[in-house]
Amino acid sequence: MGQAFPKQFKKGDPTSEAIEWTGLETGLARQNLIRPGDFIAAVKWNEAGKIDEALKGAEPVYVFSNDPREFAYRGDPAALVGHDALIIGRADAIKGHLADVSRYFQSVTPAGMIPVGRGGKDEIDLTVLSAHDLLRPYPRNGL
């Protein structure tokens, strides 16, 4: 919509929230980013939902924020200590939480971008960060 009617969507396409992130699974596989024992972290619960749907529940997804919603009740956060993660989400969301999330890992490095969209057109670039060695459990109620 934003490309077809740029004047009407100067602040972005509000329908972009309806985009399913189904291309994420293929993108992660193509870049060989998921390894056994890793988990997925998002910084927003609604992005975690899109990630979980795209990965069809194949990888554990957690939310590292003060509003994890239902993701706060998935598994034991202590069981993740020592594991690596992929932090996935929109660039602006990750940028706003990166300093807080990074202090829970030994290191965090860029791992790439994965485009998702609809109708064969890429509309959103998802940032993927590789986070190594979770140092301590992330609190269920956030920071």
Q: What one-character-per-residue DSSP string does 83-126 give?
A: --EEEEEEHHHHHHHHHHHHTTEEEEEEEEEEEEEETTEEEEEE
- Cβ–Cβ under 8 Å, residues 52 and 20: no
Q: In the numeric block, which tokens belong to residue 34?
A: 């998921």
39-42 vs 61-63, strand pairing mode: parallel
Helix (H) or strand (E) holding 72: none
Interval 51-71: pLDDT, tens: 999 999 899 999 999 999 999
Quote the CA–CA distance of 117 and 19 in Å, as a whole number.
6
Query: Above pLDDT 70, what percent of the chain?
Result: 90
pTM for this structure? 0.89
Estimate the share of the chain in helix, then strand, then coil, as percent rounded to the nearest 5.
Answer: 30, 30, 40
Quote the CA–CA distance of 78 and 121 in Å, as a whole number.
40
Classified as helix, coil or strand, 77 is: helix
Quote the CA–CA distance of 36 and 107 in Å, as a whole number.
19
pLDDT of 137 > 90? The answer is: yes
Q: What amino acid occupies position 22?
A: T
pLDDT score, position 11: 67
For range 106-131, the mean pLDDT: 94
